Each structure stands twice: as C-alpha cells, then as structure tokens.
Chain A
Amino acid sequence: MLMGPLTGFSFIGSVRTYSEISAGVGEALSPLTGVWAPTFSACELAAVFLLPFVAIRMVGGDRESGALKLELQQSLSTASMIAAKTLVLLLGWLIAMLPPISAMLLWRSYGGSVYPPELMTLILGHILNAGLTIGLAAAMASLAEHHATAAILTLSVTVGTWVISLLDWGRAAEYTPAAMVAQFQHGLIRLDVICVVVVLIVLGLGLAAIWMRLGVAVRRRIYESIALAALVAVASFGCSLLRPSWDASEGRRNSLPEPDERVLRQIHGLTIEVHLASEDPRRVDLENRALSKLRRAMPDVRVTYIAATSTGLFEQASAGYGEIWYELGGRRTMSRATTAEAVLESIYAVAQATPPAESEESIFRGHPLAAQPRGAALVFYALWPCVFLACGILIRRSLK
C-alpha cells in the first residue's frame, strides 16, 4: 500500500522539475534520469526498509512459530522450500512495482516519450536489487533465532554496503546494491554486475537453505556454509572479469559517440597515466565522463592512477599533479582536461588517427516536455492504496 504514495511523491516531483527544466534548457533532457530514476526510487526505499522484513517474516516465521518442525518432515528439500518462498516474494515485488510501472502510462498521457529498452533496464535493476535483498534477508532469517536479530543483521549488512559504496572500496564498490542500481538507472547493463549479483543471491538463498535444516549438526552446516562462500567468492571473481556491457539508454549516456567508438576499436595498446588523487573531483569527473565510456569501446586500455595522497590537497603544487598522459606506440601526449571530447582529442593525437566527422544524427536532442502531473495525485495517493487494500481483503476472504 505504501508503494503508491511513495511512487506518487517521487513521480509528481520529478515531472514538475522536468517540466521546469524543459521550459528553460529544453535540450538533451532524458526521461530516464529526469523521471524514471526518481520515480523508481520508491523501489529502492522499499527494498531497503520494507522488503527485508517481509522476507524475514516469510522465511523465519515458520521457525519461530514451530511450523518448520512440521514442514521439515516431508521429502521436499529446504532448497526447494526456499526457492518457492523466493518466487512468491519476487512475485509480490513485481506487484509492488505496478505503481511505478503505471507511471509510464500517465507520462504517455502527458505526451511524454518512453524508450522501452532503458525503462526495462531500470526495471531489471530493481528486480535484481530485490533479489539481493531477499537473499540477504532469507540467510539472516535462517541464521538467527528471532526476527529482530535477523532484521538487525540484515540492516547492518545493508549499511555496510553503503559504507563500501561511499568509500569507493575498489571493485567491491561497483557491486554494492546502491552502485548496481545506479548503473541500471543510467541505462547501463553490465554482464559482470548481473552475474555477480546472481551469484550473491545464490549465496544468500543457499545459506538460508543450509541453516533451515534443523536436523543437521551445526558443525556440518558451518562447513557447508564455508564451502558455499568459498565457491561464491571464486565465482564472483570470475564473473567480475566479464567485460560485455550494453548501453540501453536512448541518449547513449554511457557511451562515446558511435563514430568515435568505431575509430577507437581500431586502436590497441593505449596507456593512460592519470596524476590525480582518488578523492580529487577532477578524477571523478574524468572517470565518469570519459574513462568509463572509453573502457567500453577500448577494453584493452590500461589506466593507471598516480598520487601520493588521497585528496591531492598538498600535491597541487607538485610538478606533474593534474597531468593526464596518453601513450601509444612510443608516442606520448599530455592533457589536463577531463571531458570526453578532450580525452578523444588526445587519443587521436597520440594514435595519429583521423577523428570522425561530426554527425548531426549522433547528437541526442532529448525529449523536453513541459507538462503538469495531471491526475497523478489521485492515482498514487488514492487509487493504488485502495486497489491494494481491496485485493488484500478479497484474498483474505477467499482463503477463509
């Protein structure tokens, strides 16, 4: 029931903001980041603060009530039982996603543009996020004796992933739920992220199935858990080496222009040496605006970062700080600019390659829309809660 109002609050606010920006700037506006990402943020909130408790209750409830002692006395494995509960939870999650999905219909009614691949990518990201939450909560519910303990453990792990994401702890930070959702919010589908997430979901559900087996000695369950965790660690490492990725965004926001990518694919052996500290905003800029896109076009590019400190505060005066060196085939060139255009210019210079001609077709014009969210308040604050309430009452009556 909360999904309606949560979604409505985000959707209405984002449509108004989008409308104001459309009236002012009017160029290169994408509904993906302007409307859909904020609208589906309700799913992110629900995945952190609602879904875990539903999953804990579903998985741990039988243990607390004693029903598990009855359920274990039949031939179905705990893995099958966990899988069945997971499917039910995912189905419930898909139903909970109906309000944000319905926002698409409202947006279309306002005259807005919908690009299905980027919307489906966003939905996929939130489904994977829900899967991660369910796996984690199921594991904790099976490990802990009481719901409250499971909830504390689940939230602790969630907060831990926020810390990893915030501190940008190497490759691990890319696979936290927050970072994963952010990538899908930008329309980027990375095979390594999907595979690592699936492997982690298997870990959570596997631990849940192992610890549900009350009749198995604790020591054996510990050994099995360690073995599963080791297997998952190896699988995760292997998955993290996968490179394929797809840019599903309409405006190719995760990619360099197509003509440039065609030229870049012909260039091999490029090395980029960046003299910027890890917390220097210019390095973040360079990474987000240029290098992340460059790696998709040139998977074999080697990027090394050189800095004596993490902030660069006391390195500003050092010789060479802020320089970005490009080296290819014995040739070197230096630039301090961090934009994608400047990076491309430097690469073409060091590669002695001819830049492709600029094409008007490759420029994403965006979909500005100055429209008010008519009827959205009624739909999300009244209609959806009533629909969910009515469905709940009908289901309850039918089960009697």
Chain B
Amino acid sequence: MLFEVQGLSKRFGHTAALTGVGFQVRRGEVLGLIGPNGAGKSTLFECLAGVLPADSGKVLPEGRLIDLLFYIPDGITPWPAQSVLWALNFTLGFLGGDAALRDEVIEQLDLSQLLGQRIGTLSKGQRKRVLLAIGLLTRQPALLIDEPFEGLDLRQARDIATALRTHAARGRTLFLSIHQIGDAARFCDRFVLLNAGRVRGEGTVEELATLAKRDTDDLEEVFLALT
C-alpha cells in the first residue's frame, strides 16, 4: 500500500463536497476515481495534494504528502506567458523533476512542435499534454491526474494512454480522476466509485460487481447499481 485515506470530509458552506471518504492506493497500480460531474473528484484530489484544506480525515502513513504524490489539475493554464520549454525546465528545476525523462516525455506526448509556443496560446488538448508532461517529469511515486483524457481526440487519448501505461509499467502509481466510465474501464486496474461526495465502492470490476450483486463485467452497469 502506498497510502490510505481515512474519513476525509470537506464542506463548502452548507454543501458537503466530501463525506467520510476512505480508500487505499496501492503501489504501482493504475487507480481510477470515477464518478459523475460534481461528485467531488477534483475536491478530493485537491485535498490530497494540499491545495485545499480538508475539514477532517487523515492519510496514512502520516508524513509529508508532497513527497508522496503530485497532482495535475484539470483546466488550468499555468504560466501563460511562458513557453512550453520554459515550463518543462521550470518543472525540472523548481519542482525537482527528473531531467533524464525530459526528452522521452516530449516525444511520448508529441510536444516537439510546441516547445517554443506560449502556453496561453495552446489549444485545450495541447495544454493537457503539457500538463501531463509536467506531471510525468516529477519524481513523486504517485501521480494524481484530474481528467487525463479531457479535451483530447481519440488518437491523442490513445497516445496519452500508451505514454501513461509506459510510466505505470515502471512502477509509477497513477490515480486518475475520470468521469467517462468507458475510458476508465479500458485503462485502470482498480476503481474508487465516488458519488455525491461518498465512496460507493472500491476494487476491481469483479469486486465491485460482487458488491453490487451483479453478474457482469460492465463497469457502467456496476456503477449505476452502486450509485
């Protein structure tokens, strides 16, 4: 086990975004956090990354989570006036990234043509690839990615998936927040089902099907049954 979340809760005013969330993240796995929009996926990731304060809960083992995981938010345009190459070099320098991976990541995510372009001028899909590159260059054992396939066409999504699998195969733990259950089913080893701020199930498709008392390997059906 890489880390375990216990009893994580977060409220925004009267709205309970997360209630008693708990699950385990195992070393080297690709874990999918699936749930509809508004389920609390991004809130959960931000609490884990320490960029949003949780109201209660703990993460085991206790210690500095920034040494354990790195979080890639969705929908941000960091350093819009800087070039892609600057952002990657900044990741290596300031965020302590692995310089040995730079060229490989640039190739895997097809960023060669974009290196001189300012981040603020990139399309949604291009920005997503830059963000993924930033994440893949960091050294933390676990990478939390919010909607890794959002904004990508089918070919790009497959290329991204291939790149992520390569890094996962080397032992990097990936924790992916995905609202398209079909994408999650194709890519992830295990799943945490989140709905209305609560965990509805955790495990492989088979384990979740057992929990849902369904004889199926269709994750969508299992999800609907449990939520």
- A residues in contact (CB < 8 Å) with B: 62, 65-76, 214-218, 220, 399-400
**Are the CB atoms of A73 and B53 closer together than 8 Å?**
no
Q: Looking across the interface, which residue of chain A has its beta carbon closest to that of B83?
A: A400
A-B contact count, CB below 8 Å?
65
**Are the CB atoms of B66 and A65 closer together than 8 Å?**
no
Nearest-CB distance from A378 to chain B (Å)?
32
Residue in A71, A74, A76 with the greatest tally of chain B CB atoms within 10 Å: A74
Q: A73-B51, A75-B66 are in contact. List 19 more A-B contacts (CB 8 A).
A: A65-B78, A65-B79, A67-B76, A67-B79, A69-B51, A69-B71, A70-B72, A70-B73, A70-B78, A70-B95, A71-B94, A71-B95, A73-B95, A74-B66, A76-B94, A215-B49, A217-B53, A399-B86, A400-B116
- B residues in contact (CB < 8 Å) with A: 46, 49-53, 55, 64, 66, 70-73, 75-80, 82-83, 85-86, 94-96, 116, 134
Q: Report the Cα distance A400→B83, complex, angstroms.
A: 7
Q: Which residues of A contact B64 (CB under 8 A)?
A: 75
Q: Report the Cα distance A200→B75, complex, angstroms.
A: 37
**Are the CB atoms of A73 and B50 closer together than 8 Å?**
yes
Q: Which residues of A contact B49 (CB under 8 A)?
A: 69, 73, 215
Cβ contact of A216, chosen from B53, B78, B83, B116, cutoff 8 A: B53
**Are the CB atoms of A73 and B78 closer together than 8 Å?**
no
Cβ contact of B76, chosen from A65, A72, A74, A75, cutoff 8 A: A65
Q: Which residues of B contact A75 (CB under 8 A)?
A: 64, 66
**Are the CB atoms of A73 and B71 closer together than 8 Å?**
yes
**Are the CB atoms of B80 and A65 closer together than 8 Å?**
yes
Q: Report the Cα distance A66→B120, complex, angstroms.
A: 12
Q: Which residues of A contact B116 (CB under 8 A)?
A: 400
Q: Report the Cα distance A118→B70, complex, angstroms.
A: 53
Residue in A62, A65, A399 with the greatest tally of chain B CB atoms within 10 Å: A65
Q: Which residues of A contact B78 (CB under 8 A)?
A: 62, 65-67, 70
With known contacts A66-B77, A69-B71, A70-B78, A215–B96 Cβ distance under 8 A = no
Q: Which residues of B contact A215 (CB under 8 A)?
A: 49-53
Q: Looking across the interface, which residue of chain A has its beta carbon closest to that of B95?
A: A74
Q: Which residues of B contact A72 (CB under 8 A)?
A: 50-51
**Are the CB atoms of B53 and A69 closer together than 8 Å?**
no
**Are the CB atoms of A73 and B66 closer together than 8 Å?**
yes
**Are the CB atoms of A69 and B76 closer together than 8 Å?**
yes
Q: Which residues of A contact B51 (CB under 8 A)?
A: 68-69, 72-73, 214-215
The secondary-structure label for the interface of chain B is loop
**Are the CB atoms of B77 and A70 closer together than 8 Å?**
no
**Are the CB atoms of B82 and A399 closer together than 8 Å?**
yes
Q: Looking across the interface, which residue of chain B has its beta carbon closest to that of A68?
A: B51
Q: Report the Cα distance A217→B82, complex, angstroms.
A: 31
Q: Report the Cα distance A65→B122, complex, angstroms.
A: 14
Q: Which residues of B contact A73 (CB under 8 A)?
A: 49-51, 66, 70-71, 95
Q: Which residues of B contact A66 (CB under 8 A)?
A: 73, 75-78
A sample of 18 inter-chain contacts (CB < 8 A) reads A62-B78, A62-B79, A65-B80, A66-B76, A67-B79, A69-B51, A73-B49, A73-B50, A74-B66, A74-B95, A75-B64, A214-B53, A215-B52, A217-B55, A218-B53, A399-B82, A399-B83, A399-B86
Q: Report the Cα distance A71→B78, complex, angstroms.
A: 10
Q: Which residues of A contact B134 (CB under 8 A)?
A: 70
Q: Which 3 A-B pairs have the closest CB atoms?
A: A66-B76, A67-B78, A215-B50
Q: Which residues of A contact B95 (CB under 8 A)?
A: 70-71, 73-74
With known contacts A69-B71, A71-B94, A74-B94, A214–B52 Cβ distance under 8 A = yes
Q: Report the Cα distance A74→B71, complex, angstroms.
A: 11
Residue in A66, A67, A70, A217 with the greatest tally of chain B CB atoms within 10 Å: A70
Q: Looking across the interface, which residue of chain A has its beta carbon closest to that of B71?
A: A73
Q: Which residues of B contact A76 (CB under 8 A)?
A: 94
Q: Looking across the interface, which residue of chain A has its beta carbon closest to that of B82?
A: A399
Nearest-CB distance from A380 to chain B (Å)?
28
Q: Which residues of A contact B83 (CB under 8 A)?
A: 399-400
Q: Report the Cα distance A66→B80, complex, angstroms.
A: 10
Q: Which residues of B contact A218 (CB under 8 A)?
A: 53
Q: Looking across the interface, which residue of chain A has its beta carbon closest to that of B47?
A: A215
Q: Report the Cα distance A12→B49, complex, angstroms.
A: 56
Q: Which residues of B contact A216 (CB under 8 A)?
A: 53
Cβ contact of A69, chosen from B46, B79, B94, B96, cutoff 8 A: B46
Q: Which residues of B contact A214 (CB under 8 A)?
A: 51-53
Q: Report the Cα distance A52→B77, complex, angstroms.
A: 23
**Are the CB atoms of A69 and B66 closer together than 8 Å?**
no
Q: Report the Cα distance A214→B73, complex, angstroms.
A: 14
Q: Which residues of A contact B77 (CB under 8 A)?
A: 65-66
Residue in B51, B52, B66, B80 with the greatest tally of chain A CB atoms within 10 Å: B51
Q: Report the Cα distance A65→B51, complex, angstroms.
A: 14
Q: Report the Cα distance A62→B78, complex, angstroms.
A: 7
Nearest-CB distance from A383 to chain B (Å)?
27
Q: Report the Cα distance A76→B95, complex, angstroms.
A: 9
Q: Report the Cα distance A62→B80, complex, angstroms.
A: 9
Q: Report the Cα distance A66→B72, complex, angstroms.
A: 10
Q: Report the Cα distance A318→B72, complex, angstroms.
A: 76
Nearest-CB distance from A56 to chain B (Å)?
15
Q: Report the Cα distance A210→B51, complex, angstroms.
A: 13
Q: Which residues of A contact B66 (CB under 8 A)?
A: 73-75
Q: Which residues of A contact B72 (CB under 8 A)?
A: 70
Q: Report the Cα distance A212→B128, complex, angstroms.
A: 25
Q: Report the Cα distance A70→B133, complex, angstroms.
A: 13
Q: Which residues of A contact B71 (CB under 8 A)?
A: 69, 73
Q: Report the Cα distance A399→B71, complex, angstroms.
A: 27
Nearest-CB distance from B118 to chain A (Å)?
9
Residue in A67, A73, A214 with the greatest tally of chain B CB atoms within 10 Å: A73
Q: Which residues of A contact B86 (CB under 8 A)?
A: 399
